[in-house]
Chain A
Amino acid sequence: MKPNSHNFKLNARHALDDKQLQRALAKVPGGFVSKRADARAALPEFDALRDKARDIKNHTLEHLDLYLEEFERKVTEAGGIVHWASDAAEARAIILDICVMVDARVVTKGKSMISEEIALNDHLEAADLKVVETDLGEYIIQLRGETPSHIIAPAVHLNKDQVEEDFRRVHTNLSPDRQLQEPEQLVGEAREMLREQFIATDVGITGANFLIAETGTSVIVTNEGNGDLTQNLAKTHIVIASIEKAVPTLEDAAAILRVLARSATGQEFSTYTTFSTGPRRPGDPDGPEAYHVVLLDNGRAELLGTEFKEVLRCIRCGACMNHCPVYHSVGGHAYGWVYPGPIGSVLTPSLIGVDEAGPLPNASTFCGRCEDVCPMRIPLPKLMRRWRAREFDKGNPPAKQRFALKAWAFAARRPWLYRMGAGLAMPLMAWRGRSAGRFSSLPFVDGWTAHRDFPAPQGRTFQQKWRAEKRKRSRVSQGRGKS
C-alpha cells in the first residue's frame, strides 16, 4: 500500500467534510468505549492483568530470537514449515510461491493486518489468483476497493446503506427485489456468498494474534467463524504473522487473551479463539494438508533495543483508536497507511520512516487516553513525542513553526526579557480586545480564529500586578509595625 501519511492534514480536511464518514464515526465512541468500560469494571484484577501482560511481552521481546527459533522447531516437529521474510517483498514472494506450488486458483483470507502491510492481495491478483476476504468488514471493503480504516473493525467508516448499495451492485445474480435494509439481511447475504468460496478455495490465509513458542501453535481470535473455515477447509493453510506475535507458553497466551477481547470489543472472550498446530494428522477429521507460517520482520527487529521498542508489545486490540478524539474526528484512512490512530502514529514512522509519516506523531492532543486504555501499557504519547524529537533533530518541521519556537525559546530562557516583553505586549493586546473581551481574528493564530474566538488578556501581567501587590502588602505590614 502506497503511503499517504505525509498528507495527513489534507486527508483530515477531506474526512471532516465527508458527511457519510462523519455519520459512521459518530457511532464509534458510544459502542466500543462503553463496552470496554463495562468489561473492565466487571473484572477487578484487570489492571493487574495488564501488568502481567506487559511483563510477558517485555520478557519475550528481550529473548525474541530464542522464542522464534523454538517456535520454528515446534512447528517443524508438528509437520509444518516456517518461512522467514525480512521484508514485505520477500513475504509476498514466499506466499505466491506456495500458491503456485499447490496450483491454487482461489485463495480465501481471514482478517490479517500484516497482509495489508505487505499489500498481499494486489500481488496475488496480479498473478491471476482470485482472492476472497472472508471477514465481513474486509469483504465489504474489498468490494469497494478500499483498505481497512480500523484494525479490528475494517469497515467502521461505512454506514449500512452504503453496504446495501455495494451488495446490490456486486451480487447481481440475486433478486433485485430482495430486502436488504437490516444488518441481519446483509450478514445473511454475505454468508451465502462466502460459503461458496470456502468450498472452492485452495489456499486459506490467516493472520495470527499469538505464536506460541512451546507448542508451535498459531492463534487467531475472531467473532464470525470465518477464520476457522478459512484455515480448515483449504488444503493449504498459510499463517502470515510479524515476529513480535511470539509468546513463550500457552499460559502466557491465555493471560494476554484475558485483556485482549475486553480491551477491543468489551467481550470477555471473542466468539472463536482458534489454536492451530501443524497440518492435519492421520486420523484427524479435518484440517489442512499443509501448514505454513510466514514470519515477517519488515523493520521490527531494528526496533528492538531502541527507544521505540515498547511499540512491539502491541496486540492490535484497537482500544487506543477507539478512545482517540483525533481518530473519532477523522477516521482511519486519514492516517494514510495501514495502522491508524495512536498506535499507527507510533508504528508508521517506525516502519516506513518519519519523513513520510512525520505528521502522524504530531496529530495528537496528548490527552493520554490511549495510554490509559492500552492493555499492554504502551506509553503512546511518550513514543509519539520521541518521534517529534527525531523529526525536530532532522529539521523537518516547517520553517514558520521552527522560527516561532526559536523566538519563544529565546525569551523563555531569559526571564527579564520575557517579563519586559510580556509587560509591554499584554496591556496593549488587552486594550485592543477589552470591549469585546475576545478577538475574532488574530495574526499568527489564524488557524485558531478561523473556528474560534481568541479570548483577550486582562491587561497587566500577573508578575506586574504581583509586584504592586507585594509593595502594598509590605507598606501595610510596615505601617502596622510603627503603630
Chain B
Amino acid sequence: MSTASDQLNDASSDTAPTVGLFVTCLVDLMRPSVGFASVKLLEAAGCVVEVPTTQTCCGQPAFNSGDTKTTADIAKQVIAAFESFDYVVAPSGSCAGMLKAHYIELFDENDPWHGRATAFAARVHELISFLTDVRGMTDVGARFDGTATYHDSCSGLRELGVKTQPRKLLSSVGGLTVTEMTDCEVCCGFGGTFSVKYPDVSNAIVEKKTANISASEADLLLAGDLGCLFNMAGKLKREGRTIAVRHVAEVLAGQLDEPAIGEGQDMS
C-alpha cells in the first residue's frame, strides 16, 4: 500500500507524468481551496501539476443552452491549452464529462478538430477516479474525525463511472466514517442553468435531497462537484441545518482551514 508521502517522493523523479489541472470555473471563482487540494493530491500521487492560464470554463452553459458555435470555440481553446499534457484532470465529474464525452460531438468527423478532440478525450480524467484508477492511490494519509455522507453527482456517476473511487479513498481517512444517505445517486436538482431557468422545480428536487442528507445524520456532506455542492449547501443553510458541506478533495487532502461551503469566517 502506498502512502501519500511515498507518492510525493515519486514526483521528483524524471518519469513523473505532467497533469494539466482544469480548475473549472466554479473552483476558480468560488472556491480556490478545492484547486489547491487537487494540486496537493495530484502531487502526492506523483504528478507534476501545471495550470494553464488560458482556461476559463468547459463550455457547458453554452452547450446546454444549445449554442453549439460558442461551445466549439471554447472547446478548441481548452484542447489547445491542454493537449500537450500527459493527463488533463478536473475536480468535477461534470466538467470532466464535458471534456471527455461531449467535445467530440461538437466536430464533424472530417474536421481535424475531431481527431484532436478524440486524442484529448483519452487524457481527460475526473480527479478522484484519476487518483485511484490511473495513479493507484489507496491511502491519502489524511484525518477527519466525524461522519460523512457522499452524494454521487450525476455526470461523474453516469458519464464517467465515478462511484467506488471516492468511497475507497475516504475509507483511508483516519477517524472518518462514511454513512450512505437514501437515494445518493438521485440528482440534487442543480442542473446548471436549470436551477435558474426552473428554480421552483429545482427547489422541489433539492428539498428531497436535503431531507435525505439530514436523515443520514452525518456531520459532513461531500461530493465531487461544486455546482451540486453549492445547490445543496445553499438549501441546507436556508433550512437552518448545521451539517457542513465540502468538496471531497478538501477532506482527502486534509485542507480544512477554509470555512465549509456557505459558512462565514465568524462561524468556522
Interface residues of A (CB under 8 A from B): 9, 12-13, 16, 29, 325-326, 328-330, 362-369, 371-372, 382, 385, 387-393, 397, 401, 405, 408-409, 411-413, 415, 418-419, 422, 426, 433-438, 440, 445, 447-448, 450-463, 465-466, 469
With contacts A411-B56, A452-B235 known, is A364 near B194, CB below 8 A? yes
Tell whether A448 pairs with B30 under 8 Å between CB atoms, given A325-B205, A411-B56, A437-B264: no
> Does B73 touch A at the CB level, under 8 Å?
yes
Residue B33 at the A interface, CB < 8 A?
A: yes
Residue of B nearest to A417 (CB): B56
A452 B66 Cβ-Cβ under 8 A = no
Within the complex, what minimum Cβ distance (angstroms) separates A98 from chain B?
A: 43
Summarize A's interface: helix, strand, loop or mixed: helix
User: Which residues of chain A come closer than 8 Å to B116, judged between CB atoms?
Assistant: none
Which residues from A are CB-within-8-Å of B235? 451-453
Give the chain B neighbours of A452 by CB distance below 8 A. Answer: 203, 206, 231, 234-235, 237-238
Chain B residues within 8 Å of A455, by CB:
30, 230, 233-234, 237, 261-262
* Residues A16 and B204 in contact in the complex (CB < 8 Å), given A385-B63, A458-B258: yes
Contacts of A393 in B (CB 8 A): 66
| Chain A min CB distance to B24 (Å) | 9
Query: Taking the complex as formed, is B117 at the interface, i.e. its CB lies under 8 A from any CB of chain A?
Result: no
CA gap between A426 and B25 in the complex, in Å: 12
Inter-chain contacts of B198 with A (CB < 8 A) = 9, 12, 326, 362-363
Chain B nearest CB, measured from A227 CB (Å): 34
B interface SS class: helix
Given contacts A451-B235, A462-B28, contact A369 B158 (CB under 8 A): yes
B265 touches A325 (CB 8 A): no
Cβ of B119 under 8 Å from chain A: no
Nearest first, the 7 closest Cβ-Cβ pairs linking A and B are A365-B191, A447-B199, A392-B66, A388-B66, A437-B264, A452-B234, A367-B187
Beyond the given A412-B70, A433-B264, A454-B234, please list 15 additional residue pairs across the A-B interface where CB-CB is below 8 A.
A13-B200, A326-B198, A326-B205, A330-B204, A366-B192, A367-B186, A368-B154, A368-B155, A447-B199, A452-B234, A455-B233, A458-B31, A459-B32, A460-B32, A462-B28
Stretch at the interface among B47-55, B121-129, B138-146: B47-55
A-B contact pairs, 12 of them (CB 8 A): A29-B186, A365-B187, A422-B29, A426-B29, A437-B263, A447-B195, A448-B199, A452-B237, A454-B230, A458-B31, A458-B33, A465-B35
Chain B proximity of A113: nearest CB distance (Å): 24
Interface string of B174-196 (1 = CB under 8 A from A): 00000000010111011110111
Q: How far is the CA of A415 from the CA of B25 in the complex (A)?
A: 12
CA distance A461 to B235 in the complex (A): 24
Q: A453-B238, A462-B27 are in contact. Are A325 and B186 (CB under 8 A)?
A: yes
- Select from chain B the residue with minimum beta-carbon distance to A464: B32
**With known contacts A329-B205, A367-B191, A435-B266, A461–B199 Cβ distance under 8 A:** no
B side interface size, CB within 8 A: 72
Residues of B within 8 A of A465 (CB): 32, 35-36
Q: Which of B31, B53, B194, B238 contacts A415 (CB 8 A)?
A: B53
State A451–B36 Cα separation when bound (angstroms): 31
Q: Given A12-B201, A452-B206, A452-B235, does the pair A437, B35 have CB atoms closer than 8 Å?
A: no
Residues of A within 8 A of B30 (CB): 426, 455, 457-458
Number of A-B contacts (CB under 8 A): 217
Question: In the complex the two chains form, is B23's CB within 8 Å of A463's CB?
Answer: yes
User: Are A462 and B154 in contact, with the CB atoms below 8 A?
Assistant: no
- Measured between beta carbons, the chain A residues less than 8 angstroms from B196 are 445, 447-448
Minimum C-beta distance from A107 to chain B (A): 38
Known: A435-B266, A463-B28. Contact between A392 and B191, CB under 8 A? Answer: no
Please determine whether B54 and A415 come into contact, CB atoms closer than 8 angstroms.
Answer: yes
The minimal Cβ–Cβ distance linking B33 to chain A, given in whole angstroms, is 6
Nearest CB in chain A to that of B209: its residue: A325
- The answer to whether B62 touches A405, judged by C-beta atoms less than 8 angstroms apart, is yes
Q: A450 — which chain B residues lie within 8 A by C-beta?
A: 199, 203
Contact between chains at A391 and B66 (CB < 8 Å): yes
The minimal Cβ–Cβ distance linking B36 to chain A, given in whole angstroms, is: 7
What residue of chain A has the Cβ atom nearest to residue B67's Cβ?
Answer: A392
Q: Chain B residues near A459 (CB, 8 Å)?
A: 32
B68 within 8 A of A: yes
Q: A173 → chain B, closest Cβ, in Å?
A: 42
Question: Please, which residue of chain A has its CB at the minimum distance from the CB of B63?
Answer: A385
B51 touches A466 (CB 8 A): yes
Contact flag A325-B195 (CB < 8 Å), given A367-B154, A391-B66, A461-B32: no
Task: Tell me the smallest distance from the CB of B168 to a CB of chain A, in Å.
Answer: 22
> Does B61 belong to the interface (CB within 8 Å)?
yes
Partner of B32, one of A437, A453, A458: A458
Distance in Å from the Cβ of A326 to the closest Cβ of chain B?
6
Known: A368-B158, A452-B238, A455-B262. A362 touches B197 (CB 8 A): yes
Check B59 for interface membership: any CB of A closer than 8 A. Answer: yes
Nearest B residue to A324 via CB reads B187
User: Does B259 belong to the interface (CB within 8 Å)?
Assistant: yes
1/0 contact trace for B202-217 toward A, CB 8 Å? Answer: 1111101000000000
Q: Is the CB of A418 within 8 A of B65?
A: no
Partner of A463, one of B53, B191, B233: B53
